[in-house]
Chains A and B, each alone.
Chain A
């Protein structure tokens, strides 16, 4: 088997830090777009956050959105062009803090789009502040004694939250911290795109991912943090799968 770069990704180095999970997640999305043969009918949205430069890495139409508003932008695109494939790629601050309203309502409307939600429990681009998904006790630049000491509340669990909405078709939480997890993540991403092609409605895949730079740990310790800490708080699995 030959290991090749997906056609849907540009052959360029990325700006992501060593040990960051974004490169893996974007590769999975690129592979799925290739395998489904949809590159020429796909429109992606870039978030505000570390993945803002998504358009420098994907070889398909991309629109860069304001912070948290990708689901609304994607709604506008999809309603105008219902036969195209529209996906958003969002981080935890984008999707679960500033964009919470857009996230809940796009899901509840059952918009026939695909959301790839990368949860690394931190604000990466701005230098490591608390994210809505920062876990209790986790130290960040704005929770220096650990989350939970200053009435920050517990981490927001997006899949659990959205699972209560009747408009949602498919929700799965995966990780990219082990080879087995990555293979499972690929299957989930593919299903989330296939659902859209089959006009099944709203699909979201939450991906637990590493941020060694802002967690201030080594790349291997970051993998351990996902496996040992994050998976405890954010259990992997299918939260909703409407046939």
Chain B
């Protein structure tokens, strides 16, 4: 029996050894993504490259767009036409997409957007970074809207979350961002191929523009001029949806937090690195744990509050000069001290760096 039947239909148990960027492509196509538009930018180039190879094999569409702006607007169209669709980029390119993301959020069109983050601001560099946290979580485009933001910390989880992202997008009719980074995109580790199964009961797409045969004509729009409160009504409906998402979709991992006196808060690859530091600290006799949000929006606030009720101190570690820390402080209402280890510019910590910081603050 061959391990693979056809692209897009992977049998369980097949071992994959792919870069994170490539695995994301495979998982997306497995989950039924049939339209991709993107633009080259390091460190996510394997995404459009691999998409261009695989999409034609499953009868899907790959478009190398003339710009990030065009790419996100092609997604706007493809989603309106009913396709599961995706775009990817890295930090400066994601900035260019922000107008389109705002429109997609307002129009409530499902899609998946991957940000394989690099250093910024400006052209920055091509090293891994987590400096787009605010942009992803607080809304980088104009207006009151929210993205569902997922932060995988391993390739196995990247595979799962990429597939789940399409379900969340369809279920909530909302754009979903996979907030990865250059480390995750470029590294390879063995992963068991997971066949796609929907994790949610998905609603019928009753918004699709495919010609009005046998029904009333449909309009997808984001301009609300009349009556004067039309936009207020629209926005209130959006906010109500966001409240529902926030109450239903908070994913978080706790590692040895039950007895921990010091808990590290980190997400994505930084959390992966921090796990090494937790082990080192435990071996040195320090009660250290880790809390790792998997959804950055909605932020798993109650899980953080719980940790703040048992630990004496938090240590936020992130690959930025301090963005995620603001949500940690808000979620814990500063009930316990929050220490910080982070830096912008494509810096990333080693387990030793984090252990050193733990040692310095543990007894203070």
Q: Do A and B come from one complex?
A: yes
Judged by a CB distance under 8 angstroms, whether B179 is at the interface is no
Judged by a CB distance under 8 angstroms, whether B222 is at the interface is yes
Contact with B along A46-87 (1 / 0, CB 8 A): 100000100100111111111001011111111111001100
Complex CA distance for A18 and B210, rounded to whole angstroms: 34
Complex CA distance for A75 and B72, rounded to whole angstroms: 11
Q: Is B74's CB under 8 angstroms from A66's CB?
A: no
- Complex: chain A residue closest to B222, CB-CB: A64
Q: Is A72's CB under 8 angstroms from B81's CB?
A: no
Residues from chain A with a CB closer than 8 A to the CB of B209 are 43, 61-63, 77
Q: In the complex, how many angstroms separate the beta carbon of A50 from the nearest chain B beta carbon?
A: 13
Residues from chain A with a CB closer than 8 A to the CB of B103 are 65-66
Judged by a CB distance under 8 angstroms, whether B61 is at the interface is yes
Judged by a CB distance under 8 angstroms, whether B364 is at the interface is no
Residues from chain B with a CB closer than 8 A to the CB of A46 are 221
Complex CA distance for A65 and B223, rounded to whole angstroms: 10
Q: Is B73's CB under 8 angstroms from A66's CB?
A: yes
Tell me the chain B residues, 42-83 only, with Cβ under 8 Å from chain A: 61, 63, 65-67, 69-71, 73-83
Q: In the complex, how many angstroms separate the beta carbon of A143 from the nearest chain B beta carbon?
A: 27
Residues from chain B with a CB closer than 8 A to the CB of A184 are none
Q: How many B residues are at the interface, by size bracket?
A: 35 or more
Judged by a CB distance under 8 angstroms, whether A101 is at the interface is yes
Report which residue of A41, A42, A43, A73 has the largest number of chain B beta carbons within 10 angstroms of its beta carbon.
A73
- Complex: chain B residue closest to A58, CB-CB: B217
Residues from chain A with a CB closer than 8 A to the CB of B85 are 76, 80
**Contacts A55-B221, A76-B76, A79-B78; is A61 near B211 (CB within 8 Å)?**
yes
Q: Is B61's CB under 8 angstroms from A101's CB?
A: no
Judged by a CB distance under 8 angstroms, whether A160 is at the interface is no
Q: In the complex, how many angstroms separate the beta carbon of A232 from the nearest chain B beta carbon?
A: 33
Tell me the chain B residues, 64-110 only, with Cβ under 8 Å from chain A: 65-67, 69-71, 73-83, 85, 99-100, 103
Residues from chain A with a CB closer than 8 A to the CB of B65 are 72, 105
Q: Is A80's CB under 8 angstroms from B221's CB?
A: no
Q: Is A55's CB under 8 angstroms from B212's CB?
A: no
Residues from chain B with a CB closer than 8 A to the CB of A78 are 77
* In-complex Cβ contact of B221 among A43, A60, A64, A79 (8 A): A64
**Contacts A61-B217, A76-B35; is A81 near B81 (CB within 8 Å)?**
yes
Tell me the chain A residues, 81-113 only, with Cβ under 8 Å from chain B: 81, 84-85, 101-102, 104-105
Report which residue of B63, B66, B211 has the largest number of chain A beta carbons within 10 angstroms of its beta carbon.
B211
Judged by a CB distance under 8 angstroms, whether B218 is at the interface is yes
Tell me the chain A residues, 177-192 only, with Cβ under 8 Å from chain B: none
Residues from chain A with a CB closer than 8 A to the CB of B74 are 72-73, 75-76, 79
Q: In the complex, how many angstroms separate the beta carbon of A111 from the nearest chain B beta carbon?
A: 10
Q: In the complex, how many angstroms separate the beta carbon of B207 from the nearest chain A beta carbon?
A: 10
Judged by a CB distance under 8 angstroms, whether A40 is at the interface is yes
Judged by a CB distance under 8 angstroms, whether A39 is at the interface is yes
Q: Is B221's CB under 8 angstroms from A84's CB?
A: no
Complex CA distance for A74 and B78, rounded to whole angstroms: 8
* In-complex Cβ contact of B77 among A42, A60, A74, A101 (8 A): A74
Residues from chain A with a CB closer than 8 A to the CB of B223 are 52, 64
Q: Is A101's CB under 8 angstroms from B80's CB?
A: no
Judged by a CB distance under 8 angstroms, whether B220 is at the interface is yes
Q: Is B211's CB under 8 angstroms from A76's CB?
A: no
Report which residue of A41, A43, A61, A77 has the largest number of chain B beta carbons within 10 angstroms of its beta carbon.
A61
Judged by a CB distance under 8 angstroms, whether B200 is at the interface is no
Complex CA distance for A46 and B67, rounded to whole angstroms: 21
Q: Is A69's CB under 8 angstroms from B219's CB?
A: no
Residues from chain B with a CB closer than 8 A to the CB of A62 are 209, 217-221
Q: Is B219's CB under 8 angstroms from A41's CB?
A: no
Q: In the complex, how many angstroms separate the beta carbon of B79 from the nearest chain A beta carbon?
A: 8
Q: Is B212's CB under 8 angstroms from A63's CB?
A: no
Residues from chain B with a CB closer than 8 A to the CB of A73 are 73-74, 76-77, 80
Q: Is B70's CB under 8 angstroms from A61's CB?
A: no
Complex CA distance for A81 and B75, rounded to whole angstroms: 13
Complex CA distance for A66 and B96, rounded to whole angstroms: 13
Residues from chain B with a CB closer than 8 A to the CB of A77 are 77-78, 80-81, 209
Residues from chain A with a CB closer than 8 A to the CB of B265 are none
* In-complex Cβ contact of A72 among B73, B211, B220 (8 A): B73
Q: Is A105's CB under 8 angstroms from B100's CB?
A: no
**Contacts A63-B209, A84-B210, A84-B211; is A76 near B219 (CB within 8 Å)?**
no
Complex CA distance for A63 and B79, rounded to whole angstroms: 11
Judged by a CB distance under 8 angstroms, whether B315 is at the interface is no
Report which residue of B78, B99, B213 has the largest number of chain A beta carbons within 10 angstroms of its beta carbon.
B78
Residues from chain B with a CB closer than 8 A to the CB of A59 are 212, 217
Q: Is A69's CB under 8 angstroms from B73's CB?
A: yes
Tell me the chain B residues, 1-58 only, with Cβ under 8 Å from chain A: 34-35, 37
Complex CA distance for A127 and B348, rounded to whole angstroms: 51
Q: Is B69's CB under 8 angstroms from A69's CB?
A: yes
Tell me the chain B residues, 207-253 only, with Cβ under 8 Å from chain A: 209-214, 217-223
- Top 10 A-B pairs ranked by shortest CB distance? A76-B77, A72-B73, A76-B78, A73-B77, A80-B81, A64-B221, A40-B213, A105-B66, A41-B211, A69-B73
13 examples of A-B residue contacts, CB within 8 angstroms: A40-B214, A55-B219, A60-B211, A61-B210, A62-B220, A66-B100, A69-B70, A69-B76, A72-B65, A72-B73, A72-B77, A76-B74, A80-B61
Apart from A65-B76, A73-B73, A80-B82: 12 A-B pairs, beta carbons within 8 A = A60-B211, A62-B218, A62-B219, A64-B223, A69-B70, A72-B70, A76-B73, A80-B34, A80-B77, A80-B78, A85-B211, A101-B69
